C-alpha cells in the first residue's frame, strides 16, 4: 500500500523512542515490538545527539505531521460540523445510525491513522514526562478519536491526560468502521451507551440503575459456551461491554462499585450450579443490591434529614440530585414549612428539572443562576447537595459548581450538608479537580440564546481559543459540615471508617 515510506518514518520514530526509553514508554514499545529492536540497534550505531537536538528534530517532524493531518482533516471537517451542530438534540437512534454510516464509509482511513497515531502520541508523550503509561494510553485514545471520527477536537494542554470528549463512541480496540462489531455488543448495552453519551440518562443513581438493568438482560440472554464455566466466562463476556460503556461516557464511581460487586458475585457462583439457577441467582443479587444500596439507602437518608430540616428553614440546593429531591419532597409531605432556593448553572441546566418537580408538589421555590449565589446566600439557613462520590480523604466529588456554592456558604457561615449513599464511596484520593475529571462537550458552551446570536460558533477556527466543559469538581472537607449516609450522620473525615467497615463486611462474607 504505502508501507515502505511509513515504515521508514517508523524507524526514525523508533530511534527517538528508544533513545527516550528511559522515560518508560512501554505502551508504544509493545505494539511496535518488531521494529523496536531495530531502532535500538540503529541508535547504538549513530553518534549520541544532545537532548536539545533531538527535541528540535521531533518538533520539525511533528509540524510536518500536523500539516499533513490538517490537509486531510479539513476535508472531513466540513462534513462533520453540520452533524455536530445538530448534535445537541436527543435523537439517539438517528445519531447512532449516522455515526455508523459515517464511520462505515471510511474503511481506508484505518491504515493511515495507525501510523499517525504513533507520531502524534510520541510527541505528546515527550511533553508529559511524569505520567508515562496512563498518559500515553489516553492521549493515544485522544488522538485516535481525533483521527477516526475525522473531527478536530481541540485539546487543552492542562486536560490532555483525560479522556477527550467525542459524541460517537470510539475505541482503539474495537474497529468501529465495521458494523459487525456492533453485533458483538448486546443491544441493551448499545442502547445504554448511546443514552449515556447523549445525556438522556444523567445522574449517578440513574446511570447505575440503568446499567444494572441492562446487565440483567445481558445475563438472561447469555448462554455458556461449550467447555466453559459460567463464572469464568461471564466475566470475560461482559468486559467488552464495560469498555464500550466507558468509551461512550467514562464510568461513574457508582457504576464502578456496582460492577465490582457484580464481578464478586459472579465469582462466588459454585461450579456445580446449573446455568439457569446461576442466572436466576445473579439477577436476584442485582435486585438485592439495587434495593439495599440505592432504594433503601435513599429512604434512610431521607428519614435522617427529616430531623435536620426545621420549620422556617431556607434551603439552598444546587443542580439536580435524586437524593436531595427525595429528601425535600418527603419533608414537604410530612408537613414541614420551609422554602427552597434552586441554584442552576450552564450548560446542563439540571436545576430546572429539580425546580419543576418541587413546584409540582407545592414546595415554595426560588430560582437563581450560580452567579447570583453570593447575593442570595445571606437568606439561606442550610445548603443541601448530593454527591457523585466521596473520596477517601474526605473530599466530595460532585457536579461542577458545588465547591463554589460550598465556598460561598462557608463565608456566610451557612452549614453545608452532603447526602450520599455509601455505595458511592471511593478509595481514591485527590485534592484538586484537574487530576481526575470528565470532559463534556465543548460545543454545549456555544449556545447562549441571545438576540445577538452565539458569539462562539466559530471557536474551532480561532487558534488561540479553546472551550472547556468540565463535569465534576471536588469540595474540600473543611467546607462541608456533615455527610448524611444511610449508616448515619458522619463528618466528612470519617469516610475511611465507613470504607473500612464495608471492606470488613465483604471480607467476612
Partner 1 sequence: MGEQGVAVRASVSSESQLTEQETDELVKEFEAALDQNLSEAVAAIQTLLKFIKTCKVGTISGLRAELKVATETLIKARTSTVSVSSGCELFLRFITMTSLEGQNDFEDLRRKLIKRGDMYLQKVADSRQKIAHIANPFIRDGTTILTHSRSRVVYCLLKEAMSSGKRIKVFVTASTIDNSGEEMHQLLQDAKVPSKVILDSAVGFIMEEVDLVIVGAEGVAESGGIINKIGTYQMAVMAKALNKPFYVVAESFKFVRMYPLNQGDLPNDEKYTSVNSSEDSHPYIDYSPPQYITLLFSDIGVLTPSAVSDELIKLYL
Q: Which residues bind partner 1 (CB under 8 A)?
A: 300, 308, 382, 415, 478, 481-482, 488-491, 493-494, 497, 501
DSSP assignment of 81-103: HHHHHGGGS--HHHHHHHHHHHH
**Residue 293: partners with Cβ closer than 8 Å, 6 or more residues away:** 421, 422, 423
Pick the closer one to partner 1 by CB: 299 or 371. Answer: 299
Element (H, E) at 321: none
Beta-bridge partner residues of 398: 473
Pick the closer one to partner 1 by CB: 393 or 469. Answer: 393
Pick the closer one to partner 1 by CB: 52 or 508. Answer: 508
Smallest distance from partner 1 to CB 506, Å: 16
CA-CA distance, 193 to 206, in Å (whole number)? Answer: 13
Pick the closer one to partner 1 by CB: 189 or 480. Answer: 480
Smallest distance from partner 1 to CB 331, Å: 16
DSSP assignment of 182-218: HHHS-HHHHHHHHHHHTTSS-SHHHHHHHHHHHHHHH
**Residue 132 has which C-alpha cell?**
508515562
Pick the closer one to partner 1 by CB: 175 or 488. Answer: 488
Element (H, E) at 368: strand 364-369
Pick the closer one to partner 1 by CB: 208 or 480. Answer: 480
Smallest distance from partner 1 to CB 428, Å: 19
Pick the closer one to partner 1 by CB: 386 or 394. Answer: 394
Q: Is the dihedral of CA 406, 408, 410, 414 positive or negative?
A: negative
Smallest distance from partner 1 to CB 494, Å: 4
Smallest distance from partner 1 to CB 174, Å: 45
239 burial class (0-12, 13-18, 19+ CB within 10 angstroms)?
Answer: exposed
Smallest distance from partner 1 to CB 308, Å: 8
Pick the closer one to partner 1 by CB: 266 or 328. Answer: 328
Neighbours of 82 (CB within 10 A): 9
**Residue 502: partners with Cβ closer than 8 Å, 6 or more residues away:** 422, 425
- Spatial strand order of the sheet with 338-344 comes to 364-369, 338-344, 313-318, 382-386, 416-419, 482-485, 488-490
Smallest distance from partner 1 to CB 401, Å: 23
Smallest distance from partner 1 to CB 305, Å: 12
CA-CA distance, 420 to 90, in Å (whole number)? Answer: 29
Smallest distance from partner 1 to CB 415, Å: 4
Q: Is the dihedral of CA 324, 325, 330, 335 positive or negative?
A: positive
Question: Do 203 and 298 touch, CB atoms closer than 8 A?
Answer: no
φ/ψ bin of 164: left (φ > 0), alpha (ψ from -120 to 50), beta (otherwise): beta
Pick the closer one to partner 1 by CB: 209 or 419. Answer: 419
Amino acid at each position: 500500500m504505502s508501507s515502505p515510506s511509513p515504515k521508514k518514518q517508523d524507524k526514525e520514530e523508533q530511534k527517538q523512542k528508544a533513545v527516550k526509553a528511559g522515560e518508560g514508554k512501554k505502551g508504544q514499545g509493545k505494539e511496535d515490538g518488531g521494529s523496536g529492536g531495530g531502532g535500538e540497534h540503529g541508535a547504538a550505531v549513530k553518534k549520541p545527539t544532545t537532548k536539545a537536538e533531538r527535541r528540535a528534530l521531533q518538533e520539525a517532524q511533528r509540524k510536518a505531521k500536523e500539516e499533513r493531518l490538517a490537509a486531510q482533516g479539513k476535508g472531513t471537517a466540513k462534513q462533520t460540523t453540520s452533524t455536530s451542530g445538530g448534535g445537541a438534540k436527543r435523537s439517539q437512534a438517528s445519531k447512532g445510525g449516522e455515526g455508523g454510516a459515517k464511520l462505515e464509509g471510511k474503511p481506508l482511513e484505518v491504515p493511515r491513522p495507525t501510523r499517525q497515531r504513533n507520531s502524534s502520541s510520541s510527541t505528546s508523550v515527550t511533553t508529559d514526562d511524569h505520567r508515562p503509561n496512563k498518559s500515553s494510553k489516553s492521549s493515544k485514545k485522544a488522538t485516535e478519536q481525533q483521527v477516526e471520527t475525522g473531527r478536530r477536537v481541540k485539546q487543552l494542554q492542562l486536560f490532555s491526560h483525560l479522556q477527550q470528549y467525542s459524541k460517537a463512541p470510539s475505541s482503539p480496540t474495537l474497529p468501529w468502521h465495521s458494523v459487525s462489531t456492533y453485533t458483538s455488543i448486546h443491544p441493551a448495552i448499545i442502547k445504554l451507551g448511546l443514552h449515556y453519551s447523549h445525556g438522556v440518562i444523567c445522574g449517578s443513581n440513574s446511570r447505575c440503575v440503568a446499567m444494572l438493568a441492562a446487565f440483567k438482560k445481558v445475563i438472561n440472554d447469555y448462554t455458556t459456551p461449550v467447555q466453559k464455566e459460567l463464572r469464568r466466562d461471564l466475566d470475560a463476556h461482559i468486559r467488552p461491554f464495560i469498555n464500550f460503556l466507558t468509551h461512550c461516557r467514562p464510568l461513574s464511581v457508582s457504576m464502578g462499585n456496582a460492577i465490582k460487586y457484580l464481578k464478586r458475585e459472579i465469582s462466588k457462583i459454585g461450579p456445580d450450579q446449573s446455568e439457569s439457577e446461576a442466572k436466576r441467582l445473579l439477577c436476584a443479587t442485582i435486585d438485592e443490591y439495587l434495593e439495599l444500596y440505592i432504594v433503601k439507602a435513599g429512604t434512610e437518608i431521607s428519614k435522617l434529614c427529616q430531623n435536620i430540616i426545621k420549620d422556617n428553614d431556607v434551603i439552598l440546593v444546587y443542580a439536580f440530585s435524586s437524593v436531595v429531591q427525595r429528601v425535600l419532597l418527603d419533608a414537604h409531605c410530612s408537613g414541614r414549612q420551609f422554602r427552597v432556593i434552586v441554584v442552576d448553572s450552564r450548560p446542563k441546566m439540571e436545576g430546572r428539572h429539580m425546580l419543576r418537580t418541587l413546584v409540582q408538589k407545592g414546595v415554595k421555590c426560588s430560582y437563581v443562576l450560580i452567579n447570583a449565589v453570593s447575593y442570595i446566600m445571606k437568606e439561606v439557613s442550610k445548603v443541601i447537595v448530593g454527591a457523585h462520590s466521596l473520596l477517601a480523604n474526605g473530599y466530595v466529588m460532585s457536579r461542577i459548581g458545588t465547591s463554589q456554592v460550598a465556598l460561598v456558604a462557608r463565608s456566610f457561615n451557612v452549614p453545608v450538608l452532603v447526602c450520599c449513599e455509601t455505595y458511592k464511596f471511593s478509595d481514591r484520593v485527590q485534592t484538586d479537580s484537574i487530576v481526575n475529571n470528565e470532559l463534556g462537550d465543548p460545543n454545549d458552551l456555544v449556545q447562549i440564546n441571545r438576540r445577538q446570536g452565539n458569539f462562539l460558533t466559530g471557536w474551532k477556527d480561532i487558534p488561540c481559543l479553546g472551550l472547556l466543559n468540565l463535569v465534576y469538581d471536588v469540595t474540600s472537607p473543611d467546607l462541608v459540615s456533615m455527610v448524611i449516609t444511610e449508616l448515619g450522620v458522619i463528618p466528612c473525615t470519617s469516610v475511611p471508617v465507613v470504607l473500612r467497615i464495608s471492606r470488613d463486611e465483604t471480607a467476612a462474607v
